[in-house]
Structure 1
Amino acid sequence: MIKKNGKNKSLSLQSMNKAEISILLPFYNAQTTLKRALESIRQQEYSHFECLMVDNNSSDSSSEIAREFQKTDPRFQLISEQKQGVVFASNTAYKMARAKYICRMDADDIMTPNRLLLQKKYLEENPKLDVVAGLVKYIPHHENTQGFKRYVKWVNSLLSYKDIYNNRFVESPIVNPSAMWRKEISDQYGMYKAGDFPEDYEMWLRWLSKDVRIQKFPEIVLHWQDSNTRLTRTHQIYNDKAFFKIKTAYLAKWLKKNNPHYPHVAVWGASRISRQRASLLLALGITIDSYIDIHKKRDLNTPILYYQDIPEAGKIFILCYIKEEIAKKKMMDYLDNKDYVLGENYMLIS
């Protein structure tokens, strides 16, 4: 911890002037967690950073907490953004950023002490890599968090660019506050956009559509704190409907470029919810020729293809709308045994 004396403030000022990492930290009414988050930043092993703290109209003592850090450590800068929303607060911080690397952080999370050092080094040692995220340790707020636990287990399993690329239409393959990237990438392809969609997921989809290379450092870099008030739990732009709407839009664009049978697809998953989600493609120019099912008899307007009657690889392109993990694993094993290749002959959507 940096003490309130001239020598340490001078060292902090030197670190700020040599900052190679700009940390973007928007906050709103985060008085119970903000100090802990900022302390985890101040105690980083790598010291050449600037932390851009953006108060987004807080009505609690959050701004006072941030102001104390600014007083004692010049690497911390307090900014105000009146337009409500994490998109606007994050982008305001980005406009102030001076460093070559951009790091995202949330006000209720904790960085591991070596996070900045590990991710910066990883980018330096991999010049063809554009973004590095990391593993997260999930900190639940109560016992009824099985959905988030499953998501963390899944997202932590995606390390390589190929795995992230091939799974990006399932859910967001990156935990936003675990990411660091080269500023030139966001300068070129843009930052967060405001809309009726999760802003971080849209940005990852947009960047991946531009061949931005994303990987993960295979160590925990963030303690990801859950709470009843976390935006991903409370705001409608983070619900399932919003996720499917934005990923379907990017999926349709991807199919136009990569599906050799465009606009024709087959959808594996004939349940009502699978058909409902797949139907979003119709308005975007995609034709669903058939639904693949494990049952021979199901009465639908669209033809049903029994899974054992699937043609050899290369004859059709399959979109997999199966969410249940055991069923999905069996489906993937079956397709692999028929020489279907993920990302070439089929794609996972749920």
Structure 2
Amino acid sequence: MSPLVTIILPCYNAAALLPDTLASLSTQTFADFECIAIDDGSSDATRALLDAHAAIDPRFSIVSRENRGLIATLNEAIALSRGEWIARMDADDIAHPERLGRQLAALQASGADVCGVGVRFFGERDGLWLPPTSDAAIKAALLFNPPFAHPGAMVRASVFKQHGYDSAASHAEDYALWCALAKGGARFVGIAAPLLDYRIHPGQITQTKTAAMAQTAAAVRLDYARHALPADWADADKVRFAELAASDRALDRSDWFTFTAWLVTLAQADPATRDAFTTVWLDALIRTRGVDWRCKKRFSALSRALPPPAEERGKWQRQRVRVLAGDAVYGLIKRLRVRA
């Protein structure tokens, strides 16, 4: 009999961190799963660790072969999967015990095709990243970046097998996939609770391929913006919106005013999307140069219309001080704090 869930676990030179990951999967409260772990040509002890774990937990199936890269490995695992649902996992992260069970419950209750969860960062950086929970808000959040962490996703297998990962979207394959699924009519749901511990370390792709990731993401973002933004918007405005939405794009005050006015317009047009914008305007302010008293009125209006969630309260408070003091004084305050 086929399992209800297939976990796909790509592994490459992951021996140092893999044991905790494997243990977190074997101790899931939901037990009806298989895990297809593919050793993508590792040169360390990854294969030996996988084989040893499969010997004590027969739900794990191991494939080992030459290196083909992440996208090829993911697509291979999807093709081998037997479950009705496919859950992603990375070899350096830790799943909370109830992760699979809670995702299945959310998917079955909502009728959605894709479920993302919140993550808690650990390692070289800490913090919390919680996704929007509704289909509308998640699809709106895709205008900016992936709305949830890739290794925490669970997807209906038939949808995954129909689309798969695009080999042309290297280093932003998850963002490209979620946008493609949204454009194709898939439904999303999010769980605003940290069900995955996401390890930040120097060797991961998100740390080593930043420039390539940004370039691919920019193309994906523009294509999705042209699809998802209102039909009555001029194409030039859609292009401009996608440019200003990039998290690596420095803004000036005029850019920030333009961008945040668009965010308010979108939220007012469809209140169901509001949660997608509550941190975006604040993050955009952080990358804005020349912040001063002229931003105060807009900052106050945005704080009322799109109040950031509780986990962003510290960021909001720091930016409030920045707006009130202006960049020159705020920079001086920061330097004095460092010296102290």
Asked if Structure 1 and Structure 2 have the same fold, meaning a TM-score greater than 0.5 normalized by the shorter chain, the answer is yes
Of 60-69 and 325-334, deviating more is: 325-334
Is 2:183 the partner of 1:209? yes
Give the direction of change, closer, same or farther, for the CA distance of 1:234–1:46 in structure 2 (3 Å limit): same
Residue 86 of structure 1: aligned partner:
70
Residue 154 of structure 2: aligned partner:
180
The Cα offsets for residues 165-214 of structure 1, whole Å up to 9 and x where unpaired, read as 112122211201111121122233x1111125411111011111122111
Is 2:101 the partner of 1:117? yes
Residue 164 of structure 2: aligned partner:
191
Give the direction of change, closer, same or farther, for the CA distance of 1:166–1:60 in structure 2 (3 Å limit): same
> 8 Å contact 1:37–1:109 — kept in the other structure?
yes
SS at match of 1:324: helix
The residue type paired with residue 20 of structure 1 is L
Is 2:79 the partner of 1:95? yes
Residue 286 of structure 1: aligned partner:
none
> 8 Å contact 1:123–1:131 — kept in the other structure?
yes
> 8 Å contact 1:24–1:102 — kept in the other structure?
yes
SS at match of 2:44: coil
> 8 Å contact 2:116–2:131 — kept in the other structure?
no
Is 2:151 the partner of 1:168? no
Residue 285 of structure 2: aligned partner:
324
> 8 Å contact 1:81–1:89 — kept in the other structure?
no
Which has the larger share of helix? 2
- Structure with higher Rg: it is 1
| Cα distance in structure 2, aligned partners of 1:329 and 1:74 | 60
Of the three residues 121, 131, 137, the one matched with 2:120 is: 137
SS at match of 1:51: strand
> Structure 2 stretches of 5 or more lacking a match?
270-279, 289-294, 306-340
Give the direction of change, closer, same or farther, for the CA distance of 1:166–1:313 in structure 2 (3 Å limit): closer
| Cα distance in structure 2, aligned partners of 1:137 and 1:23 | 20
Matches of residues 35-54 of structure 1 in structure 2 within 5 Å?
A: 35-54=19-38
The residue type paired with residue 265 of structure 1 is D
Query: What is the number of residues matched between the two proteins?
Result: 280
Matches of residues 1-350 of structure 1 in structure 2 within 5 Å?
A: 17-127=1-111, 129-141=112-124, 145=125, 153=128, 155-188=129-162, 190-197=163-170, 198-236=172-210, 239-255=213-229, 258-265=230-237, 274=244, 323-325=284-286
SS at match of 2:237: strand
| Cα distance in structure 2, aligned partners of 1:87 and 1:237 | 18
> Structure 1 stretches of 5 or more lacking a match?
1-16, 278-291, 296-303, 339-350
Give the direction of change, closer, same or farther, for the CA distance of 1:120–1:196 in structure 2 (3 Å limit): closer
TM-score normalised over the length of structure 2: 0.71
SS at match of 2:284: coil
Give the direction of change, closer, same or farther, for the CA distance of 1:110–1:238 in structure 2 (3 Å limit): farther
